[in-house]
Chains A and B, each alone.
Chain A
Amino acid sequence: MIEFSQEAKRRYNAIVSHYPEKRAALIPVLHLAQREFGWISQEVADYVGELMDYPPSDVLSVATFYTLLHKKPAGKYHMEVCRNVSCWLMGAYRCVDEIKSLLRIDVGGMTEDGRFSLNLTECLGSCGTAPAMQVGDRYYENLTPQSLAEIIEKLKND
């Protein structure tokens, strides 16, 4: 049985206190759970459901609707490259190829050491600086294969 750490429990209580009823806090709590456990496994959904008085099916239903919530383990650096029109026209596909060959993973895959995973995402709202990529809470813009190599190098040594 999994459980939030003391720190996460404190955050959970703070989040829930912002809402008139605790069930309304489901999405922020799922984000918290993702930070805590890395991804929303069925076990996590079950735990969150119990915590928030939701049947686990409802929790998983919400989690599977949002791509920002991972339904399988993600790397420490989860790279999400935008695949919508602006980014693609500006060469996002070349960036994706670069990541694939540098890290030797496919879209949807994860490196063996669990540090990097790669996914494509819909418009990041950063079309003016396309191609764009999101890694965790950070945006990387105006990507080129060269800049990507540098970014990955930096993250590796992080």
Chain B
Amino acid sequence: MPKLTINDREIEARDGAMIIQAAAEAGIEIPHYCYHQDLPVDGNCRMCLVEVEKMPKLTPACATSVSEGMVVNTHNERVKEAVRGVLEFLLVNHPVDCPVCDQAGECRLQDYYMVYGLHTSEIPLEMKVRKRKVIDLGPMVVLDTERCVLCSRCIRFCDHVTGTGELQFFGRGDHVEIGTFEDRPILNPYSGNVVDICPVGALTSRDFRFKCRVWFLHSTDSVCAGCSTGCNARIDHRDGAIFRMIPRRNPDVNKSWLCDEGRLSIHEIGRGERVRRALIKGRDGMQAPASLGEALDAANTGLREAARKYGGAAILGVGSASATNEALFLLARYVKGQLGGDQLEFRLDSEDRKALEPEDKILRRFDKHPNSMGALALGFAGDEIGGIEGAISKAREGKIKAAVILYYKPLVTRETDALAEARIAELVSLLEFSVLFAAHKADWQTDAGVLLPVAAWTEEEGTYTNYQSRVQAALQAINPPGDAQPAWSLLAALLEASGDTSVWSSSTDVLSDMKQAVSAFAGIDLDSVYSQGALISTNGAL
């Protein structure tokens, strides 16, 4: 652990760290374009020049490793002058179209100009080298070559992360242009990341550009619900509308990346009609709207009656690999504690097996649900049931008569989803009484005895357990529509209505209880859950 001095501050750095990393860890920011913590060092932009005592020339902080006793200065006049010079060169041919650039507000050229530049441009506009603009590079990316600072981050991403090598520099001197061969689209399944890492407005998001100026957006920390990897993400929204999802760095899970399907999954929630009000099926077999209170009472009454008539073993709790740990915990508690049931199941599509199976070498997994491992840890894979198919045959045989069901449409879809939904529909149709929590409407839901409007992922609050058995928190970004509520909160209300005396005022309360009640969760540290995630112990559950 070498000790060094940066700007008169003594700091201790990791062995082999570059000056820029050591500084960042000590909270000292060194300007940079090409350096990125999850890409190989390239050292091409020279924005990170710093002065190191005993070195004759300024040195790039991103490519110089720390050593014992090093004395670094990142902001004296000599450094500032050099950085200003670098910036001036970078801006020589810049088109200065910032007012119509979608990067405005998160552009490193603008930001650094305000700190280091503030020079007057010596180059009249008509003398600038003009390059190509608004080039379509496929489903995620739009390219403006004039704004590129030639940092090569996007190239290194395609070379080293996806290994697909689509992007390159062409030409030389001030005519160098970033681009793809013959302007071919970038079709790798992670292409959206090049937009995030481009420090300027050269690569912008096809999906997000010109939808909203970024300074109007509010950000909420979340976890992608697109598969069992559980990439850490940030959801940007305004006035109840979601605009984009971008990665939140977690070196242990997704580094700085998201897959394209996951990134675009935010739009799925808006597709299809939402369940906005509770419905209760009357004696005539028709569902009629009801208040949440009425619906919860009807749910309790119906389920208790079934439990009394057929015994607790005839009541099934169907969790969902898309539900939060908190919702699943409360569901189990309700079925077991209030109905005397012991049958829990969640597998519509062998999620338990797929959860660990990688779909590629980078992030994606075959299980397109965020919380299969949580459902497993909370005991939802009932061996004596054997998945949804087992539940269906039990219902056919009349061994299962009623159920409480959490059902969510997957956000990232695969061919097998229709089958999974058909199975749930079949189960509901076979039951004498069912309470169904659903976020989106579907025809088969008319078979449910009580239909409860539940929040979809971005409106939920709670934790998911990813394939590594890491519990990670997703906060609520926007409000659910109509009467819908987060699943944990509906279930808490159901428990209260049925006489459970616990009071939970937030999903964190539920998590604390879960820590007490479920041994797998006993060791988790709540603070970690809300930052890098916390591993649960999985012995027994797997």
Q: A32-58: which residues lie under 8 A (CB-CB) from chain B?
A: 42, 45-46, 54-58
Contacting pair B172 A57 (CB below 8 A):
no
Complex CA–CA separation, A55 to B169 (angstroms): 13
Closest residue of chain A to B169 (Cβ to Cβ) is A61
Return the chain B residue nearest A54 by Cβ: B165
Check if A19 is an interface residue, CB within 8 A of chain B: no
Q: How many residues of chain B have a CB within 8 Å of chain A?
A: 13
Sample of 12 further A-B pairs with CB below 8 A, known A55-B168, A57-B165, A60-B181: A42-B181, A54-B165, A57-B166, A57-B167, A57-B181, A58-B165, A61-B168, A61-B169, A61-B170, A64-B172, A65-B171, A65-B172
Complex CA distance for A61 and B165, rounded to whole angstroms: 11
User: Residue B164 at the A interface, CB < 8 A?
Assistant: yes
Bound together, the chains give a CA A45 to CA B179 distance in angstroms of 15
Asked whether, in the complex, the Cβ of B172 is within 8 Å of the Cβ of A45, the reply is no
CB distance from B162 to the nearest CB of A (A): 11
Q: How far, in angstroms, from A57 to B179 measured CA to CA in the complex?
A: 8
> In the complex, what distance in Å separates the CA atom of A126 from the CA atom of B227?
64
A/B interface sample: 16 pairs, CB < 8 A: A42-B182, A46-B181, A54-B165, A55-B164, A55-B166, A55-B181, A56-B182, A57-B168, A57-B179, A57-B180, A57-B181, A61-B168, A61-B169, A61-B170, A64-B170, A64-B172
List, in ascending order, chain B residues with CB within 8 A of A60's CB. Answer: 168, 170, 181
Q: Report Cα–Cα, A56/B182, bound state, in Å.
A: 9
Q: A-facing mask of B143-164, CB < 8 A → 1, else 0?
A: 0000000000000000000001
Chain A residues near B166 (CB-CB < 8 A) = 55, 57
**B residues with CB within 8 A of A:** 164-172, 179-182
B165 neighbours in A (Cβ, 8 Å)? 54-55, 57-58
B347 to chain A, nearest CB (A): 41
For the complex of A and B, 4 pairs with smallest distance between CB atoms: A55-B165, A57-B168, A61-B168, A57-B181
Residues of A within 8 A of B179 (CB): 57
A49 to B, closest residue via Cβ: B181
Query: What A residues does B172 contact at CB under 8 A?
Result: 64-65
Q: How far is the CA of A130 from the CA of B180 in the complex (A)?
A: 40
Smallest beta-carbon distance A108→chain B, Å: 14
Residues of B within 8 A of A45 (CB): 181
How far is B167's CA from A68's CA once the two chains are assembled, in angstroms? 23
* CA distance in complex: A65, B171 (Å): 5
On chain B, the residues within 8 Å of A65 by CB distance are: 171-172
CB distance from A37 to the nearest CB of B (A): 17
Q: How far is the CA of A46 from the CA of B166 in the complex (A)?
A: 12
User: Across the interface, which residues of A come within 8 angstroms of B181, CB to CB?
Assistant: 42, 45-46, 55-57, 60
Chain A residues with a Cβ under 8 A of chain B: 42, 45-46, 54-58, 60-61, 64-65
The answer to whether B164 and A64 touch across the interface, beta carbons within 8 angstroms, is no
Contacts of B164 in A (CB 8 A): 55
Distance in angstroms between the alpha carbons of A64 and B169 in the assembled complex: 9
Cα A20 to Cα B180 in complex, Å, equals 28
Distance in Å: Cβ of B222 to nearest Cβ of chain A: 34
User: Distance (Å) between the CB of A121 and the closest chain B CB?
Assistant: 13
Q: Which residues of A contact B169 (CB under 8 A)?
A: 61
Q: How far is the CA of A60 from the CA of B166 in the complex (A)?
A: 11
- What is the CA–CA distance of A11 and B182 in the complex, to the nearest angstrom? 28
Contacts of A54 in B (CB 8 A): 165
Q: Which residue of A lies closest to B180 (CB)?
A: A57
B143 to chain A, nearest CB (A): 13
Q: Nearest Cβ in chain A — how far from B278, in angstroms?
A: 55
Docked complex Cα distance between A55 and B170 (Å): 13
Contacts of A57 in B (CB 8 A): 165-168, 179-181
State A124–B181 Cα separation when bound (angstroms): 31
Q: With A and B bound together, what is the CA distance between A58 and B167 in angstroms? A: 8
| Cα of A42 to Cα of B168 in the assembled complex, Å | 14
Of A46, A57, A60, A64, the most chain B CB neighbours within 10 A belong to A57
Distance in angstroms between the alpha carbons of A134 and B227 in the assembled complex: 61
Which residues on A sit within 8 Å (CB–CB) of B170? 60-61, 64
A58 to B171, CA, bound (A): 12
In angstroms, how far is the closest chain B Cβ from the Cβ of A23? 12
Q: CA–CA, A54 to B180, complex, Å?
A: 13
Task: Determine the chain A residues whose CB is within 8 A of the CB of B171 once the complex forms.
Answer: 64-65
Most buried by B among A46, A55, A56: A55
Min C-beta distance of A140 to chain B, whole Å: 26
Query: Shortest distance in angstroms between A58's beta carbon and chain B's nearest beta carbon?
Result: 6
Report the Cα distance A65→B169, complex, angstroms: 9
Complex CA–CA separation, A42 to B180 (angstroms)? 12
Complex Cα spacing A58 to B165, Å: 8
Q: How far is the CA of A46 from the CA of B169 in the complex (A)?
A: 16
Q: Nearest chain B CB to A72's CB is how many angstroms away?
A: 13
Q: Whole-angstrom distance from the CB of A43 to the nearest CB of chain B?
A: 10
**Nearest A residue to B171 by beta-carbon distance?**
A64
CB pair A58–B182 under 8 Å, yes or no, is no
Query: Which B residues are in CB contact (< 8 Å) with A46?
Result: 181
How far, in Å, is A6 (CB) from chain B's closest CB?
Answer: 28
A54 to B168, CA, bound (A): 12
CB distance from B188 to the nearest CB of A (A): 11
Q: Which of A60, A61, A65 has the most CB of B within 10 A?
A: A61
CA distance A92 to B345 in the complex (A): 86
Q: How far is the CB of B503 from chain A (nearest CB, A)?
A: 60
A55 partner residues in chain B, CB cutoff 8 A = 164-166, 168, 181
Residues on the B chain within 8 Å of A42, using CB: 181-182
Distance of A56 Cα from B172 Cα, bound (Å): 17
Q: How far is it, in angstroms, between the C-alpha of A55 and the C-alpha of B168 when the chains are bound?
A: 10
CB closest residue in chain B, given A67: B172
A60 to B167, alpha carbons, bound, how many Å?
A: 11
- A43: nearest chain-B partner, CB-CB: B182
Query: How many Å from the CB of A69 to the closest CB on chain B?
Result: 11
- A55 and B166 CA atoms in complex are apart in Å by 7
CA distance A31 to B501 in the complex (A): 82
Q: CA–CA, A54 to B167, complex, Å?
A: 12
Question: Which residue on chain B has the smallest CB distance to residue A63?
Answer: B170
Contacts of B180 in A (CB 8 A): 57
Q: Return B164 CB to nearest CB of chain A, in Å.
A: 7
Closest to A62 in B: B168
Complex formed: what's the CA distance from A60 to B169 in Å? Answer: 9
- Report the Cα distance A2→B165, complex, angstroms: 23
Complex contacts, A64 vs chain B, CB 8 Å: 170-172
